[in-house]
Structure 1
Amino acid sequence: MSKASPHAGFVDQPQVGRRFARAAAAYGEGDFFAREVDRRMQERLDFVKLEPTRILDLGCSRGGSFAGLAARYPQAELIGLDVAPAMLLAGRTQRAGWQRWLGLGKQAEPLRLAADAAHLPLKSRVTQIVWSNLLLHWLDDPVPALAEAHRVLDVGGLLMFSTLGPDTLKELRTAFSDGYAHTQRFADLHDLGDMLVGCGFADPVMDMEVITLTYDDLDTMFAELRAAGSSCAMKARRHGLTGRKSWDSGRAAYEAMRKDGRLPATFEVIYGHAWKVAPKKTPDGRAIVRFDLPRKGS
């Protein structure tokens, strides 16, 4: 059984759902960063030799990954899961557009499920790819979701994900250092690799890149974060209004970081993938020994 990670117990999960529900209707205007990370993830599939019959997208939001996955794997059934029903409902309205673009019929409509990634409403070993773009840092603890991903994957199946690392929005944390949380709590790349192994995955591959966005002013940055549903949802966030003195101090500290006339916002993007292999032990700890039968005529 997987142990809980040290990242558990800090995220206000109902608040995560509320933030994304509020952002759902206009999410297509604020998800440019998620779309770009998705594009970079999709490129990584060029090196994967797998012909899935079913793909599960964890944290699918409005289904931004569906078009790319459907184009790459036209025979695969797509299942999208998200904690915010409003996101799933909003995604249905854009489905017809990308299906016409791909030349796909009605039978290709993805199945959308409103559920928690840590408690998947699916049987074991029913999918060949679990895909997850920028979900894990919104979870109170990534371990249960990773364990569930392992459970629903078939042997030989692939988990591929992206998430945000500890340097994400470091400028915001530094500027508003008032004892409250102003960003999510992000897991380290090495911790995520250990979690994968602990959940039974094999051959985890992790890599990271830094993407820096720049803004004319702080209000624009906050507006984009809200439009993407990405405002802080930690339990330790400030629940009331920020005092004028603290607000002015934070803004001045952020302004001091301006470079070439622009305010920077750092995003550390972590990419990972790992495979589900045949178990080497039974659930009660006994070793599994496999014997290959001799081929006929040998």
Structure 2
Amino acid sequence: MTQSIRWLQDEIADRMLQKLDIVKLNVRDILVVPDYPADHHAAVARRFPDARIHSVIEDGSSRLQLWIAKARANWRSIFRRSKTSALAHLHTSNKFDIPDNSVDLVFSNLLLHDLADPKLFLQECWRVLREGGLVVFSYLGPDTGKELRAIQGGALKLKNLRSPWDMHDLGDALVSKRFSDPVMDMEYLTLDYEQPQLLLGDVEALNLANANPHVEAEISDLPQKLTLEIVYGHAWALGKHLAKSQDSVAYIDVNQIGRKTRTDSH
């Protein structure tokens, strides 16, 4: 994503937080991935005023920009020690640079479609979440940019989403990574454009096509709208004391089983 699409990131972040209104969650630490210097910090700080926000910084953002954004959103955040790492590190290692069982909420906005394997991301979320923690995410679904497919070729070189998973695919992936009670839903957003260069700017910012300054001149029938399929989901990290399940059966150590005793009175 680039600066030109910040409004979309903030809008989707607001919608994600609205969906959390019905969720009861005691949050001490949040991991925001990707994090970027925009208005979403104020919304997150209002929703979780006492939480520390750990950041995986979006490519192209600076730590200073992010620090200023956090301070503006909630000045108390500048006195809280939090962890900061780069999104590039996640792309290369599939790892978050934070310890096991260290956050109560992973908040991931418009990222999963850009990952080579979202299952590895979910695996990392499971690792860093505390017992009873929540992962909440949004991403672009496979119908995104469907208007462009009819005119692709020549000057317009479309790029496939790295992970064009629909909400059923992600729901299955959550279950396979041991998350509980996954909830998935989806909506379509339609963006209308008066000028083709504005559409092409968003197409590039959304990473749907390679940049080409000659596209507008070479293609006369560019659409005046762009469809975004936004997929939302959340799931709980429960039963982390259980050993990894096999064949849909979870195994636990015998020492983890409590024994109830009864004292008979005479």
Give the structure-2-normalised TM-score: 0.82
The equivalent residue for 1:48 is 23
2:175 to 179, 182, 197: 197
Check the 8 A contact 1:63/1:80 in 2, yes or no: no
The 5 A counterparts of 1:1-298 are 23=2, 27=3, 30-62=5-37, 64-84=39-59, 86-99=61-74, 104=76, 106-108=78-80, 111-114=83-86, 115-116=89-90, 118-177=94-153, 180-185=157-162, 186-226=164-204, 229-232=205-208, 248=218, 250-252=219-221, 254-255=222-223, 263-279=224-240, 281-283=242-244, 287-288=251-252, 291-292=257-258, 294=260
Give the drift of 1:146: 1.0
**Residues paired across the two proteins, number:** 253
- Please list every run of 5 or more consecutive structure 2 residues that lacks an aligned counterpart in the other structure: none
Give the drift of 1:67: 1.9
- Please list every run of 5 or more consecutive structure 1 residues that lacks an aligned counterpart in the other structure: 1-19, 256-262
Give the drift of 1:291: 3.6
Check the 8 A contact 2:41/2:69 in 1, yes or no: no
The CA deviation string for residues 167-200 of structure 1, in whole angstroms up to 9 with x for no partner, is 1111122221469434524211111111111111
CA root-mean-square deviation? 3.1
Q: Which has the higher contact order (CA 8 A, sep 6+)?
A: 1
Paired with 2:262 and 2:70, the residues of 1 have a C-alpha distance of 50
Check the 8 A contact 2:29/2:102 in 1, yes or no: yes
Paired with 2:58 and 2:159, the residues of 1 have a C-alpha distance of 22
The equivalent residue for 1:260 is none
Return closer, same or farther for 1:278/1:266 CA change in 2, 3 Å cut-off. same
Give the drift of 1:108: 4.5
Check the 8 A contact 1:202/1:276 in 2, yes or no: yes
Paired with 1:297 and 1:69, the residues of 2 have a C-alpha distance of 51
Helix, strand or coil: the match of 2:192? strand
Return closer, same or farther for 1:85/1:111 CA change in 2, 3 Å cut-off. farther
Of 279-288 and 200-209, the range deviating more from structure 2:
279-288
Give the drift of 1:217: 2.3
**Identical aligned residues as a percent:** 30
Paired with 1:49 and 1:129, the residues of 2 have a C-alpha distance of 12
For residue 85 of structure 2, what is the amino acid of its counterpart? L
Check the 8 A contact 2:70/2:77 in 1, yes or no: no
